[in-house]
Structures are given as structure tokens and as C-alpha cells.
Amino acid sequence: MAGEIKKRSEIDEQFQWCLEDMYETDELWEEEYRKLVSLADAMKDLDGNLGKDSGNLLRYFEQYDEMTYYVNRLVVYANERFHQDTTVAKYQAMAAKADNALMIFSSATAFASPEILKIPEDVLKGFLENEPKLAAYERALSEQLRKKEHVLSAAEEALLANANELKSAPSNIFEMFNNADIKFPSIRDVEGNRLAVTHGTFGQLLENSERSVRKAAYESLYGSFKQWGNTLATTYTSHLRGEKYFAKSRRYHSTRAMHLDDGNIPESVYDQLIETVHRNLPKMHEYVSLRKRILDVEELHTYDLYVPIVENSEKRYTFEEAKELVLKAVEPMGEEYVKIMREGFENRWIDVYENTNKRSGAYSWAAYGTHPYVLLNFNGTLDSVFTLAHEMGHAIHSYYSNRTQPITYSDYLIFVAEVASTCNENLLMQYLLMTTADVKERRYLINHYLEGFRATVFRQCLFAEFEKIVHEKIWNDEALTLTELNEIYGQLIEQYYGPDLTIDDETRHEWMRIPHFYTSFYVYQYATGYSAATAFAKLILEGGQEAATRYIHHFLCGGCSKDPIELLREAGVDLSTPQPVESALKVFGDYLQLFKKELK
């Protein structure tokens, strides 16, 4: 897609998503907004009355589902209209109004959970026996009851709710500092040209073939963070203490236990991930050693970890070619899966090309009752082909979940959100490796996989272990200073990357710039999700249609009808054991050996 970026009006309609499938006109959106407001107002009649009889409880759940249906549609449509051209004032306002719809929904239903938990269990049991329609909500009720011991009195809950703004302060401070205040000195390339160092350019600069540029960019960014070390250490430890306060208040035995409880994830899953990765660190060390040898450097530094070690494939793909590649790659999923994907390709589920003022990046977003939508900024590179496979994995996961489950259980949890998308990427990788005869492309593909695995499994596991250590120290009232944070992080870098990486002082400060650390115990899910996806792809390629059907029926169709661990287990991958992570790490090792063979 060379040349100037086109205006939206210049993009052929066939490459634009058809949002009219959700609302034929914007006026219909406004009409549903009014319906939501009306339903929210009607909820007031149920406040204080849920425990009086089964009819009131059923009415609450049914109205909640109806409100969920409307609010999801309102939010998805408004934001997708806004994202296709962010300068259109009408859709800026509509997106803001959709945010208001979310607040209306949240406010109208806030009374229910504490009220339901006050209903004696024998009374709830009687409600379920007397009203057969409540059976549809038995899991929703059991999920609330499961957390009953961590729900406080109304007065205490009000105090915690009022403290939420204070709890989010460290994250807000970091976000403002990181996005608005911190600035990095510019650097010069080998020809003396000045290069700006920003969050946006930093990744590109680390891929620069000139080592002096990479080193200067690294020192510019991390040197700037180092100057604010005490402030950032205090900001982060304040976040850790806030998390501890809420976990203790809710009677959890640790901050981690509180966060994993949302998806009913056993803490052993977290520990097994770290333990399994530890056993396989020699593979990571071997890869780092290979990178050092290929770059032919006396010392390998952290700023050398991102520069390409094989020549980039210059092959370009049209969108038609990309679609056919992805369709061929997912054929092991079976005819129905391919048919659904083709339907998405042919019926304008996808907004394909970049246009002026379009939102960057890519995503899939679905509202119950309408097919999913995918936003791309397709540019013809191999990466954009993988992005198509990835986002269509999300889309078809939503398609199956929404088609199979009632709205109550249609949303899959974040713990499994990246499994279907990454499984598609694995299938595409396998297909391309089997069909390409170009040596340069094979090398690029294998290295693409190794780098993705390093960043998603090894690096995110390192982050997860860092979180585990620092949260435990705060929980146990141990001091945690800037020096100690740097030391903990530096030791983990040494452990994960091995003896062939020279650790610079700047590297020990890397923890300072990771925004995910302010969303506690989130990053481990990247590693578990990637591992599960790798295991599923292997099962499907080796087990054929039976394995694919099991994956589709038990996982893609499952929504949140069961705990995510149980859905994965029934589909063939048991993350309560080390086996899926072990299997994924074996695949990494196999690709590493194949890469070394290709380089000979």
C-alpha cells in the first residue's frame, strides 16, 4: 500500500465493514439508547426486593440480560463508527454517549450483588425450586456465592468503593508521567542526523542495524527513567500497598489470590508456569547464545535483543492472497470453521485498509446478536497476514460463543482471550513453513516465531515472577526500595537470559516503564494463553477433525459457561498441569533446532 494514505471516502466499499448489519441507521442506535435508559429506570423497582420472591430475582436477571444486550451494541457500534475516522464530531459524541451508557448500566445494577448475597442460601434454593426459569441463572448465582466470604457489609463495601479512586492514583500518576511528562534526549545516527527518541520510535530504533544507534536510544530512554528512579519506586510501591489493603480488607490470603479469584484460577497455575519455564531456560540461553554468534559481537547487550538476525522477507501480499493463505491454513479446523471465516471475508466483517484518521492497530469486537467485526490496517506485509489470522481467530471465537450460549454466558474471560487468535497464528506458521520454498522466507518465518515466543512466554513469565516477588515482599511488610527493585529485576534478567547477555545498569531499571505492572497479576495470562494455543494447534494438526471438533465444541462454543480452566481441559488442554506449557516450550526448542539447521 505505497503512496499517500487515502481518505475514507476513497476506500472501496468492499474493503469497509458493514456496520449497517448492526444498525441500519444512527437513529436506531438512539432508539436503543433510550430503551437502555428506560430499563435502567425500571431497575429501581427491584432495588431492595430481590430477596422477597423468586419472581423478582428472575425479573432482575432477565432485565440485566436485556440491558447487557443493548449496552454492548451501543458501545461497539459507536466506537467502531468513531474508529473508522476519529475526526468525525458526530461519532466522537456518540462514543462519549456510549461511555455514559456503560455508567448508566453500572449504576442501575450496582445494588444487586450485595443484595443477592444477603439472601439466605436455603431461601435461594427454594427460589430455584419454585421458579424453573431461574435454572438458566444458576451458574451466575453460584459465581456470586463463591465469592461471598470476600464480600463485606454494605457500609464496608461503600468505604472500599469510595477508596477506589485513591487505589487507582499510583496508576494514574504513572500513566500521566509516562505519556505526558517524561521526555527522552534525541540521538544521532552514524551520518550525524538527529533522531527523536519517543515511546513510538524506541522499538524501531532498537531494530536499527547500526549498533551505536541502538545503544544511544537505549541509554536515552532508560537513562531518563533512571533520573526518576526514587519517584517511580515510590509510585509503584504505593500501588503494591494499595493492592495489599484491598486484598486484606476482602479477607484474601494474598494480593495474587484476590486477582486470580476473578476467573477461579488456581494459584498453582501461576506457580507451575514459572517452574516449568525455569526448567526450560537452557533453551532460552541457547537462543541468546545463537543471537550473539550471528551478530558477531564480543558482548551481547540488551539493546541487541531486538535487531533482526535474519534478512526480512520482502515478499508482499494482496488482501486476496492473504485471505486465501489464512483459509488454507485453518483447513485443519474443518469445513464449518472455514465456511464461517469465508463468510466474514465475503460479507464485510472487516475494515481492511488504513485511511486518514483511522484508529491504528487491529482488533476484533463483537456484540451479541450480530456477527463480529474486525478492524485492520492491512499493509501487505507478512506481519499483516498474521494479524488477519489472529483477529479472525478472535472473531470466530466470539461467533461460536455468541451463537451457542445465552447472553448471560456468552463473554469469554480474559484468561482465555488470546487462545483462539494465537492458535490461528500457529496454524498459519505451520502452513507457510510447509509450502514455502524460499530459504530466506523460511528463515524469517522461523525467527518470527522464536521472537514472538521469547516476548510472549519467556519475557511475560519474567514479568510475572517479578510481580510475585515484589507483592509478597510488601505483603510481608518487607522494605522495598529502588535499589531492591532494581536488584530483583536484574537478577531475573540474568536468570532468564543466561550468561551470554551482558547486563547493563539501564537494564535493571526496565521494570519502571512496564505499564502492565499497575494491572496486577495480568501478564502471566499472555504466557498461559500462548502455551494453550500452541498445544491446541499441535493437537489439531496431529489429531485431525476429532481434535478440531473437540476444540470448537468445548472451547470456542463455551463462552463463560464454565470456569476457563475447565473449558480448556474439556477441549484437550489442562493448564492445571505443567504439560501444556512444557509442550509449548518443546515446540520452541524444536523451532530453535530447525533454525540452526536452516542457517547452516
Residue 410 DSSP SS3: coil
DSSP 48-109: TTTTT-HHHHHHHHHHHHHHHHHHHHHHHHHHHHHHH-TT-HHHHHHHHHHHHHHHHHHHHH
Please, are residues 522 and 171 in contact by the beta-carbon 8 Å criterion?
no
| Cβ contact 89:83 at 8 Å | no
Q: Which residues partner with 375 through β-bridges?
A: 351, 363
Query: Around Cβ 112, how many Cβ atoms within 10 Å?
Result: 18
Report the C-alpha gap between 518 and 235 in whole angstroms.
Answer: 10
E strand map for 327-435: 350-351, 363-365, 373-375
Q: How far apart are CA 334 and CA 322, in angstroms?
A: 19
Under a CB-based contact definition with an 8 Å cutoff, are residues 185 and 198 in contact?
no
Q: Phi and psi for 480 in degrees, rounded to 5?
A: -140, 95
Ranges of beta strands (E only) in 435-556 are 501-502
Q: Which residue has the cell 486484598?
A: 247
Q: Which residues on neighbouring strands pair with residue 187, listed in sequence order? A: 195
Q: Is 195 helix (H, G, I), strand (E, B) or coil?
A: strand
The candidate with the shortest Cα–Cα distance to 411, out of 25, 13, 143, 180, is 143
Q: Reduced to 3 states, what is the DSSP secondary structure of residue 523?
A: coil
Report the number of secondary-structure helices (H) and strands (E) in the chain.
Answer: 24, 7
Q: Which residues are catalytic?
A: 391
Cell of 409: 454466558
Q: How many CB atoms lie within 10 A of CB 264?
A: 16
Sheet (strand 350-351) strand order: 350-351, 373-375, 363-365
Pairing between β-strand 350-351 and β-strand 373-375 as defined by DSSP bridges: parallel
The continuous run of DSSP H or E covering 592 comes out as helix 579-599
